[in-house]
């Protein structure tokens, strides 16, 4: 046998038994975006490397060690997108949709980072990204947080995640704080790890973001950015808090929250969970007022967030997800060659006649027993059986596959076991003409 070629480590297939959950989440997110009147934008998966270097920052984890960078056939340096914000801003500038306009945009899709694969951390992963341009107030920062809070509620996750907020101030106030922090860290150089020593020269704030347990105490004791904020940023932060209080969204102020990327200013926030081990950030965002200009556009205020979809799916309860699965209404069983021909055409006819009807046709003509097995596995509610007898008499046999399903004497449909127990004199199986079948299926679909 030829050697099997495997996928790339950390880049996963999403198999048919998982895609329903993805579809469910994606649908919910699209719905959420409609509720707030945000518009979708799509941009390429590959961009010039310079875009990410200039926006994310040369001395960030992403640019230093996580990007998939390669030369294309023209010798240009390209990178798979490690995140969406840079490309979204690039697209906005290039297409002239930011100048003197307000945009509320979202996108969804794969991102690529060469990290050490582990639970909740992959090399290809998926994000929902939301970015707003042209609005400066804390009101829009608050709307983004409202939106995410609503999403957790929609999924029953409101008690699984909690909100942390902070303000990074303006770049001017950050520069002052940077000196204070550098002095503090310099005085304790011997406690810094290798990464942090390097960052001390290039970007000391990033040290606060370190996950090294040995450095946590040092970080804990460090001077707080919050104590060095400029007045405008402080006011912005206070107003954001008032917006959150107004709708009862609880939060914790985490003064060490600096986020991993260079471009943030003022508001930053994260939704975190303790249910996913070390990979506990499900959604993260903030304001990036300087980025559009930094990438060659006209000065434009901006704020956004990104949500990690793998982590989100990992958070959802299996039971909740299973409820979302849509099984077929009908499984069509066909016995014998004649029935196979007639059955497939009948299934098509039923699809024409009954809007939204989901039919699974057992093709391939196997024995009744093995067709029944597949019917059970499909979790369909009803089997429609077509054999020689049925064909001769111009009828079909209709059989309830679930224990609580039966044909009630008055011809009504039992609603999902919520009513009385099935009594022994209510048959689970019945013969019908095609027209009766269509009427019956219409009721089944409505109930769904």
The tokens for 78 are: 């390209």
Q: Which of 54, 228, 311, 399 binds ligand ATP (CB under 6 A)?
A: 311
Q: Shortest approach of ligand ATP to residue 132 CB, angstroms?
A: 17
Residue 407 · residue 430 · CB < 8 Å: yes
Q: Shortest approach of ligand ATP to residue 47 CB, angstroms?
A: 16
Strand 252-253 with 162-167, pairing:
parallel
CA distance 63 to 85: 14
Cα 223 to Cα 29, 182, 191, 340, distances in angstroms: 39, 10, 16, 77
Cα 322 to Cα 125, 236, 306, 350, 404, distances in angstroms: 23, 43, 26, 27, 20
Residue 301 · residue 328 · CB < 8 Å: no
Of the pair 24, 305, the CB lying nearest ligand ATP is at 305
Work out whether 47 is an interface residue with ligand ATP (CB under 6 A): no
CA distance 168 to 171: 8
Q: Which of 55, 164, 233, 281 binds ligand ATP (CB under 6 A)?
A: 281
DSSP for 216-266 reads HHHHHHSPPGGGG--HHHHHHHHHHHHHHHHTT---EE-TT---SSTT-EE
Work out whether 279 is an interface residue with ligand ATP (CB under 6 A): yes
CA distance 105 to 88: 9
Q: Shortest approach of ligand ATP to residue 60 CB, angstroms?
A: 9
Work out whether 79 is an interface residue with ligand ATP (CB under 6 A): no
Q: Which of 55, 79, 103, 127 binds ligand ATP (CB under 6 A)?
A: 127
Work out whether 103 is an interface residue with ligand ATP (CB under 6 A): no
Work out whether 335 is an interface residue with ligand ATP (CB under 6 A): no
Of the pair 61, 289, the CB lying nearest ligand ATP is at 61
Q: Which of 113, 199, 206, 422 binds ligand ATP (CB under 6 A)?
A: 113
DSSP for 211-224 reads --GGGHHHHHHSPP
How many residues line the site for ligand ATP (CB under 6 A)? 18
Q: Which stretch binds ligand ATP (CB under 6 A): 167-175, 304-312, 378-386, 435-443?
A: 304-312
User: Which residue in the shown chain puts its C-beta closest to ligand ATP?
Assistant: 308
Which residues on adjacent β-strands are paired with residue 267? 167
Residue among 173, 259, 170 at smallest CA distance from 209: 259
Q: Which stretch binds ligand ATP (CB under 6 A): 114-122, 152-160, 168-176, 365-373?
A: 114-122
Of the pair 120, 343, the CB lying nearest ligand ATP is at 120
Work out whether 282 is an interface residue with ligand ATP (CB under 6 A): yes
Work out whether 125 is an interface residue with ligand ATP (CB under 6 A): yes
Of the pair 120, 290, the CB lying nearest ligand ATP is at 120
What does the binding site for ligand ATP look like in residue numbers (CB under 6 A)?
83, 113, 115, 120-122, 125, 127, 260, 279, 281-284, 306, 308, 310-311
């Amino acid at each position: 046998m030829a050697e099997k070629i495997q996928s790339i480590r950390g880049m996963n297939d999403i198999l048919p038994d998982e895609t329903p959950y993805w579809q469910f989440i994606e649908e919910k997110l699209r719905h959420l975006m409609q509720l707030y009147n945000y518009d979708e934008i799509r941009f390429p998966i590959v961009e010039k490397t310079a875009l990410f270097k200039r926006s994310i920052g040369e001395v960030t984890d992403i640019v230093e060690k996580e990007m998939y960078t390669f030369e294309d056939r023209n010798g240009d340096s390209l990178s798979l997108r490690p995140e969406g914000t840079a490309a979204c801003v690039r697209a906005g500038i290039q297409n002239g949709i930011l100048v003197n306009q307000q945009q509320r945009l979202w996108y969804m899709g794969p991102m690529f980072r060469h990290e050490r694969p582990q639970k909740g951390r992959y090399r290809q992963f998926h994000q929902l990204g939301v970015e707003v341009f042209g609005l400066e107030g804390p009101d829009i920062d608050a709307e983004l947080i409202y939106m995410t809070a609503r999403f957790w509620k929609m999924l029953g996750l409101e008690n699984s995640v909690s909100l942390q907020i902070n303000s990074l101030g303006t770049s001017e106030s950050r520069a002052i704080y940077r000196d204070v922090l550098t002095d503090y860290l310099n005085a304790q150089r011997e406690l810094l790890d290798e990464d942090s020593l390097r960052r001390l020269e290039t970007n000391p704030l990033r040290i606060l973001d370190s996950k090294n347990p040995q450095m946590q105490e040092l970080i804990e004791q460090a001077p707080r950015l919050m104590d060095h904020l400029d007045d405008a940023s402080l006011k912005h932060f206070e107003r954001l808090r008032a917006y959150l209080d107004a709708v009862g969204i609880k939060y914790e102020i985490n003064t060490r929250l600096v986020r991993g990327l260079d471009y943030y200013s003022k508001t930053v926030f994260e939704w975190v969970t303790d249910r996913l081990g070390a990979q506990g950030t499900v959604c993260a965002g903030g304001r990036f007022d300087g980025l559009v200009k930094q990438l060659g556009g006209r000065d434009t205020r901006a704020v956004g967030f990104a949500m990690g979809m793998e982590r989100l799916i990992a958070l959802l309860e299996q039971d909740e997800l299973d409820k979302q699965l849509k099984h077929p209404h009908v499984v069509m069983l066909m016995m014998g060659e004649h029935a196979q021909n007639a059955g497939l055409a009948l299934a098509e006819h039923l699809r024409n006649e009954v809007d939204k009807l989901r039919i699974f046709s057992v093709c391939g003509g196997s024995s009744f027993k093995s067709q029944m097995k597949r019917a059970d596995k499909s979790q369909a509610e009803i089997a429609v059986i077509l054999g020689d007898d049925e064909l001769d008499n111009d009828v079909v046999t209709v059989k309830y596959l679930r224990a609580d399903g039966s044909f009630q004497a008055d011809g009504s449909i039992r609603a999902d076991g919520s009513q009385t127990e099935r009594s022994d004199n209510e048959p689970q199986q019945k013969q019908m003409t095609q027209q009766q079948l269509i009427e019956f299926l219409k009721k089944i679909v409505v109930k769904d």
